[in-house]
Homo-oligomer: A and B are copies of this chain.
Amino acid sequence: MNEQIIHNPVIDTLLDRRSIRAFKPGPLGDDVVATLERVAQQAPSSQYLNDWSAIRVADPALKERLAAIGGQPYIATAPLLYVFVADEHRNTAIAAAKGVDPAGDAFTLDGSYRFSQAQNDAVLALHAMETAAYSLGLGCVVLGSLLNDVDGLVDALGLPALTYPVLGLAIGEPDQEPALKPRMPRTMQFFEDAYPADDASLLAGLPAFDEEVHRYYDLRNTDRPVDAFSDQIAANAVAPMNGRVVRDSAARQGFHLDR
């Protein structure tokens, strides 16, 4: 398989991406904020619904609250902190102003497909922002940990009905230089025309990848190598989810994921 990589500033930014979890203090400029937010807005949006929003978390006490939810103290230290939100609230208000009845049988902005669509659009926007941030010499970490407590996050950010938190993004000037984290062989993740029919061929590259991951050192725990990929996956496959049932949290936000 050809592994000749083309280089340019965009591709190098994307290939050099690693999560940054330690930030130098100090606010980022208004021009940085404007640039990152405009870039996020220009990401693709399915059916032009523009069905996401983002909360820029500036209040230090609110940052601390989110850090507690995520169980990660560095969240509170991020100069820029966003929570991206699937947002059918705004579109519902817009449609209602045009005479659409949000309680009517024909209404679908509160259903599972729109929920999923809005979630995807929020992630597209977040990733555009993340990539732009790296191009400015900043570093980021995507925060799934905020979903430890969706209800608490909803309360903290005053998220109305028909919104749902998708992911957070912490941004700042890097104060650490983590190594690039390994990725599995391309042939284990990209397949031509069909998913591999047998698991043996799917996993042929796994032993070498396990070795490579085991040699990687995580800055969060530098005194020992990380577990092999297989061991990490086996542990995560039975890790308790602590009530992270999307349907239930979404229902409390007015989404009906059963339709």
Interface residues of A (CB under 8 A from B): 1-6, 8-11, 13-17, 19, 30-35, 37-39, 41-44, 46-50, 52-59, 62, 85, 89-95, 97-100, 102, 104, 106-109, 111-113, 115-117, 119-120, 123-124, 126-128, 130-132, 134-136, 141-142, 144, 147, 157-160, 163, 166-167, 180-181, 183-184, 186, 188-195, 197, 199, 202-203, 206, 229-234, 236-241, 244-247, 257-259
Docked complex Cα distance between A151 and B100 (Å): 31
Shortest distance between the CB of A12 and any CB in chain B (Å): 9
Given A2-B34, A39-B11, the answer on whether A95 and B244 have CB atoms closer than 8 Å is: no
**Whole-angstrom CA separation of A106 from B240 in the bound complex:** 7
| Alpha-carbon separation in the docked complex, A50 to B213 (Å) | 13
Given known A-B contacts A97-B230, A159-B195, A92 and B189 have beta carbons under 8 A apart = no
Distance, CA A38 to CA B16, complexed state (A)? 11
From B14, B99, B113, B191, A128 is in contact (CB under 8 Å) with B14
Residue of B nearest to A31 (CB): B4
Known: A15-B42, A42-B183, A237-B109. A117 touches B144 (CB 8 A): yes
A94: chain B residues within 8 A (beta carbon): 203, 206, 229-230, 233-234
- Shortest CB-to-CB span from A59 to chain B, Å, is 5
Contact A195 B55 (CB under 8 A): yes
Please indicate the chain B residues that have their CB under 8 angstroms from the CB of A115 in the complex: 246
**Are B107 and A190 in contact, CB atoms less than 8 angstroms apart?**
no
The answer to whether A111 touches B50, judged by C-beta atoms less than 8 angstroms apart, is no
- Complex contacts, A37 vs chain B, CB 8 Å: 186, 189-190
- 4 closest cross-chain pairs (CB), A and B: A10-B135, A2-B30, A98-B234, A95-B237
A55-B195, A128-B127 known; A5 and B19 CB under 8 Å?
no
Q: Which residues of B contact A203 (CB under 8 A)?
A: 90, 93-94, 97
Residues of the B chain whose Cβ atoms lie less than 8 Å from the Cβ of A48? 181, 229, 232
Given contacts A35-B5, A50-B189, contact A246 B238 (CB under 8 A): no
User: Across the interface, do A120 and B42 meet the contact criterion of CB distance under 8 Å?
Assistant: no
Which of B8, B41, B135, B238 is the one whose CB lies under 8 Å from A106?
B238
Say which residue of B4, B62, B113 sits within 8 Å of A193 (CB atoms). B62
A117, B97: Cα distance in complex, Å: 34
B258–A195 CB distance below 8 A: no
In addition to A95-B238, A108-B240, A245-B259, 9 A-B residue pairs with Cβ atoms within 8 Å of each other are A41-B184, A47-B144, A48-B229, A50-B184, A55-B192, A91-B236, A98-B230, A112-B247, A116-B246
